Amino acid sequence: MNIYKKKKKLSVIWQAVFAIVIFIFMYLPIFVLAFYSFNQSPYSAKWQGFTLQWYAKLFADERILSGLYNSLLVGACAVGVAAVLGTLMAVGLARYEFPGKKLYQGISYLPLLIPDIAIAVSTLVCLAAFAIPLSILTIIASHIVFCLAYIGLVVSSRMNNIDPHLEEAALDLGATPIQAFMLVLLPQLMPAIISGCLLAFVLSLDDFLIASFTAGSGANTLPIEIFSRIRTGVKPDINALSVMLISVTGIVALIAELIRNSGENRE
């Protein structure tokens, strides 16, 4: 019995050590990045003192602010359209039967499996085939594709836990199908919709490959602007910008998870 306890304790210790090593491997570069974002030296390799000047410099950089505006515009527009279409798609796939449903369902979630570079190239070829000029609108259209898949997936997982008899009861009590959807189904789906929108917004904000292939002149997003600068070396202001993006992304992802969990707990 004592031998079994010792082996179990040793196994737990090794699991803890392995988990710590993995976390260090994953997050140590982020901590180093954050550390050097406060470096007073314009060169990241040598520490010369603590400063916040690089964070202040970001808010005075017109190109950074322009890229941020474009990224927020693309994310908001793409998520807004994808939220409506993704919710309707999830409800239709869960509640209705129609010819080719399985095929349509598989095609709908392909953007989750296809590499971003493949989506970027295929989108660019499609735009070129129809002679559509590249602009901020083409970035929004391309982002709707993968935002739609992510929101649809999150809402579909929520649909599986909702009792369909609630809608039937509303219909039996005299509600129209639209009223049953708006007053009964939609409030239950709202936590999943918000969570999916936040997740899709973060992915849109961080996207570089698809945006770089579909961006026109003067329509650079923030990741494109960052990439154009790091080709000549990583400066502390880019470190500061990266820390801010990581922080915002982490906060948004945490909020999305809390909203999703709160919806499941209420259910």
Backbone angles phi, psi at 234, to 5 degrees: -85, 120
Q: Average pLDDT, stretch 104-113?
A: 82
Distance from first CA to last CA of the chain, Å, rounded?
44
With a threshold of 0.75, does the pTM exceed it?
yes
Q: Which pLDDT belongs to residue 46?
A: 72
Residue 22 tokens, joined: 């993995």
Backbone angles phi, psi at 99, to 5 degrees: -60, 135
131: alpha, beta or left? (left if phi > 0; alpha if psi -120 to 50): left
Element of type H or E holding 49: none
Q: Average pLDDT, stretch 4-9?
A: 67
Element of type H or E holding 73: helix 62-95
Superfamily of domain 59-266, CATH level 4? MetI-like (1.10.3720.10)
Q: Which pLDDT belongs to residue 80?
A: 94
CB atoms under 10 Å from CB of 64, counted, come to 19
Tell me: pLDDT of 123 over 60: yes
Tell me: pLDDT of 267 over 60: no
Q: Which pLDDT belongs to residue 77?
A: 94
Task: Name residue, tokens 């961080």.
Answer: 206
Tell me: pLDDT of 237 over 80: no
Which residue from 122, 186, 102, 189 is spatially nearest to 154, judged by alpha carbons?
189
Q: Average pLDDT, stretch 165-191?
A: 82
Task: Name residue, tokens 């992802």.
Answer: 253
Which residue from 140, 136, 142 is spatially nearest to 66, judged by alpha carbons?
136
CA distance 49 to 162: 56
Residue 207 tokens, joined: 């996207």
Q: Encode pLDDT of 124-151 as tens digits.
A: 898 888 888 988 999 999 999 889 988 9
Q: Encode pLDDT of 36-81 as tens digits.
A: 888 887 765 677 778 888 888 888 888 888 888 999 999 999 999 9
| Percent of the chain's residues with pLDDT above 70 | 92
Q: Which pLDDT belongs to residue 5?
A: 66
Res. 7 pLDDT band, cuts 50 70 90: low
* Cβ-based neighbours of 15, under 8 Å, separated by 6 or more: none
Q: Encode pLDDT of 19-37 as tens digits.
A: 888 888 888 888 888 888 8
Structural domain spans, the chain? 59-266
